[in-house]
């Protein structure tokens, strides 16, 4: 059996380049600060969050009937609605649609759901040319990587590296790394792809129950360039993306971009209700583990997520370990509460990749109690016996010592003198992972108990 990659060991690779780690940390913190500025401009911010959270409570508790109404209204609009219980069925639907319509060239805009389903690789294996058109996604597609952030997919790369990637794939000048120059090269390259595409695949930000339409948000305009030129549009949507009323968009659109990047809105917010005359519009509703998550009382709130990425930008662990260390489609705090529901064993170290500082919950626009769920997943994982052997051993020993006053006194005394006498090399040996990037504080002369007995007891 393959060894499970822990978050800590995966993060180690990223941490080797300390300049990059520092840059990554500061850049994401900058985005977090922009979010704060945008949020603080609105006195009603907390009201918006509360409302968005409550509307999603309504959606989760009525999801079956809402989906039926949504489907009925979408069909009446001329949208072909398909259901997929898992990733395989989703991919099979897409393949069948492409085959039926004799499509060869596909353009895609950003969709975390299709990443989750592994759609690109599936289609490429079948011989299709799938072009990601979001600039960040195109970069990592060239580089044969997956997104390291759900809003900023290529945030782990420096412009020098992107320059090299473009030199190889687009023939830009060797060594050129000016963002404007590189973006222009991508623009020319992707325009040609848009013009030639027969099908466009997009994600969905919001599915509107009462009108049977959906909304897609971008800054680049790539979703629209693709869908309005191609003969068919396939929209892929997780079943939790519903909102009941058109006017609920007022709340979610005010929250989404401000939370994501500190913008007041994305430059394009497109509302699709009916296909162009003679063209086709498909909507695939995907479960892939969501109905099971709905049944987990402690964790179902994670389904409220609107994929803004604010919890990643604020997380001290994410900022210093990058998205790849999570080894899951959605990284960061929200990914760490979603992914264990998909595969508990594979993702068993993710809920531990947190300081439980609670910053993720504070910035979440739909008020998901992320840090509490991280803590709750830890209980589940430990009970299932999935924690790492060293942690299991340390916790057992810790429990014994803490439970016995005489052992505690004895070991405390021993440690205080031992730490002073032991050579530094031994104290900071490989066994002490805590001490890798940190110094231990000087050990006190006496324990609190000794001090108390001397000074206060009399």
**Beta carbons within 8 Å of 284's beta carbon, 6+ residues apart:** 82, 83, 84, 90, 93, 94, 234, 235, 236, 237
Q: Give 56-64 contacts, CB < 8 A, sequence gap 24+.
A: 56/303, 56/304, 56/366, 57/304, 58/244, 59/240, 59/242, 59/243, 59/244, 60/240, 60/294, 60/300, 60/301, 60/303, 60/304, 63/239, 63/240, 63/242, 63/294
Is residue 444 near other proteins by the rule CB under 8 A? Answer: no
Q: Which is nearer to other proteins, 231 or 450 (CB)?
A: 231
Binding-site member from 11, 204, 237, 253 for other proteins (CB under 8 A): 253
Residue 209 CB-half CA count within 13 A: 20
| Window of 12-20, 294-302, 402-410, 424-432 that interacts with other proteins by CB under 8 A | 294-302
Check if the beta carbon of residue 83 is closer than 8 Å to that of residue 236.
Answer: no
The correct pick among 20, 167, 273, 378 for binding other proteins (CB under 8 A) is: 273
CA distances from 402 to 182, 384, 394, 396, 397 (A): 59, 24, 12, 10, 9
Strand ranges (E), 209-312? 213-218, 232-238, 242-243, 268-272, 280-286
Per CB under 8 A, 283 contacts other proteins: no
Contact in structure between 257 and 225 (CB atoms under 8 Å) = no
Instruction: Output Rg (C-alpha) for the chain, integer angstroms.
Output: 25
Report the site for other proteins in 190-229 (rule: CB under 8 A). Answer: 190-191, 194-195, 208, 211-213, 219-222, 224-225, 227-229
Site residues (CB under 8 A) for other proteins, limited to 68-107: 68, 83-85, 89
Residue (48 or 360) nearer to other proteins, CB: 48
Report the alpha-carbon distance of residue 434 to residue 163 in Å, rounded. 38
Strand, helix or coil for residue 436: coil
CB of 309 to other proteins, least distance (A): 13
Q: Which of 4, 8, 10, 54 binds other proteins (CB under 8 A)?
A: 54
Residues in 132-191 at the binding interface with other proteins, rule: CB under 8 A: 133-136, 139, 152-155, 158-159, 162, 179-180, 182-184, 186-187, 190-191
CB of 219 to other proteins, least distance (A): 5
| Smallest separation, CB 203 to other proteins (Å) | 16
124 binds other proteins (CB under 8 A): no
By CB under 8 A, tell whether 268 contacts other proteins: yes
Of 297, 383, 433, 456, which lies in the binding site for other proteins, with binding defined by CB under 8 A?
Answer: 297
- Shortest distance (Å) from residue 248 CB to other proteins: 7
Q: Check if the beta carbon of residue 176 is closer than 8 Å to that of residue 167.
A: yes
- Select the span of 121-129, 268-276, 329-337, 378-386 touching other proteins (CB under 8 A): 268-276
Of the candidates 259, 253, 257, the residue with the CA atom closest to the CA atom of residue 32 = 259
Query: Taking CB under 8 A as the rule, does residue 58 contact other proteins?
Result: yes
3-state SS, residue 93: helix
Cβ closer to other proteins: 256 or 353? 256
Determine which residue in the list 11, 14, 31, 370 makes contact with other proteins, applying CB under 8 A.
Answer: 31
To which residue do tokens 């009970």 refer? Answer: 383
Q: CB-wise, 11 or 155, nearer to other proteins?
A: 155
Q: Candidates 63-71, 321-329, 369-377, 448-456 — which segment interacts with other proteins by CB under 8 A?
A: 63-71
Min dist CB 328 to other proteins, Å, is 21
Helix (H, G, I), strand (E, B), or coil: what is residue 234?
strand
Among residues 153 and 332, whose Cβ is nearest to other proteins? 153
CB nearer other proteins, residue 266 or residue 328: 266
Residue 249 binds other proteins, judged by CB under 8 A: yes
Least distance (Å) between residue 400 CB and other proteins: 40
- From the list 9-17, 61-69, 351-359, 417-425, the region that binds other proteins by CB under 8 A is 61-69
């Amino acid at each position: 059996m393959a060894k499970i990659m822990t978050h800590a060991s995966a993060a180690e690779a990223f941490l080797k380049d300390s300049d990059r780690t520092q840059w990554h940390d500061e850049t994401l913190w900058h985005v977090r600060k922009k979010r704060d500025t945008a949020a603080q401009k609105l006195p009603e911010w907390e009201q918006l969050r509360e409302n968005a959270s409550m509307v999603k409570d309504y959606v989760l508790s009525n999801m079956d009937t809402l989906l039926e109404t949504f489907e009925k209204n979408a069909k009446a609009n001329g949208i072909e609605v398909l259901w997929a219980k898992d990733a395989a069925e989703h991919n099979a639907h897409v393949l069948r649609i492409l085959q039926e319509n004799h499509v060869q060239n596909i353009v895609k805009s950003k969709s975390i759901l299709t990443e989750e389903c592994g759609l690109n690789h599936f289609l490429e294996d079948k011989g299709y040319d799938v072009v990601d058109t979001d600039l960040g996604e195109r970069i990592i597609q060239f580089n044969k990587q997956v997104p390291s952030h759900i809003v900023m997919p290529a945030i782990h790369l420096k412009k020098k590296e992107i320059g090299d990637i473009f030199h190889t794939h687009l023939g830009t000048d060797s060594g050129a790394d000016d963002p404007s120059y590189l973006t222009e090269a991508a623009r020319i390259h992707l325009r040609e792809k848009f013009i030639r595409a027969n099908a466009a695949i997009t994600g969905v930000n919001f599915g509107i129950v009462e009108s049977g339409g959906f909304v897609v948000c971008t800054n680049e305009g790539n979703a629209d360039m693709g869908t309005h030129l191609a003969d068919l549009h396939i929209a892929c949507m997780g079943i939790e993306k519903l909102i009941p009323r058109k006017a609920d968009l007022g709340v979610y659109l005010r929250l989404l971009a401000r939370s994501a990047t500190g913008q007041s809105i994305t430059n394009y917010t497109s509302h699709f209700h009916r296909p162009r005359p003679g063209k086709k519009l498909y909507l695939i509703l995907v479960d892939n583990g969501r109905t099971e998550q709905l049944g987990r009382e402690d964790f179902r709130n994670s389904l409220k997520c609107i994929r803004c990425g604010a919890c990643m930008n604020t997380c001290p662990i994410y900022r210093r370990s990058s998205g790849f260390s999570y080894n899951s489609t959605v990284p960061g705090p929200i990914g760490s509460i979603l992914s264990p529901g998909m595969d508990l064993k594979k993702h068993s170290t993710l809920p531990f990749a947190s300081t439980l500082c609670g910053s993720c919950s504070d910035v979440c626009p739909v008020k998901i109690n992320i840090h509490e769920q991280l803590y709750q997943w830890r209980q589940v994982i430990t009970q299932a016996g999935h924690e790492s052997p060293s942690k299991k051993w340390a916790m057992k020993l810790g429990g014994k010592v803490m439970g016995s006053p005489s052992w505690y006194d004895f070991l405390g005394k021993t440690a205080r003198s031992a730490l002073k006498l032991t050579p530094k090399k031994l104290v900071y040996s490989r066994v002490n992972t805590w001490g890798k990037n940190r110094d231990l504080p000087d050990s006190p002369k006496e324990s609190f108990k000794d001090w108390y007995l001397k000074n206060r007891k009399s």
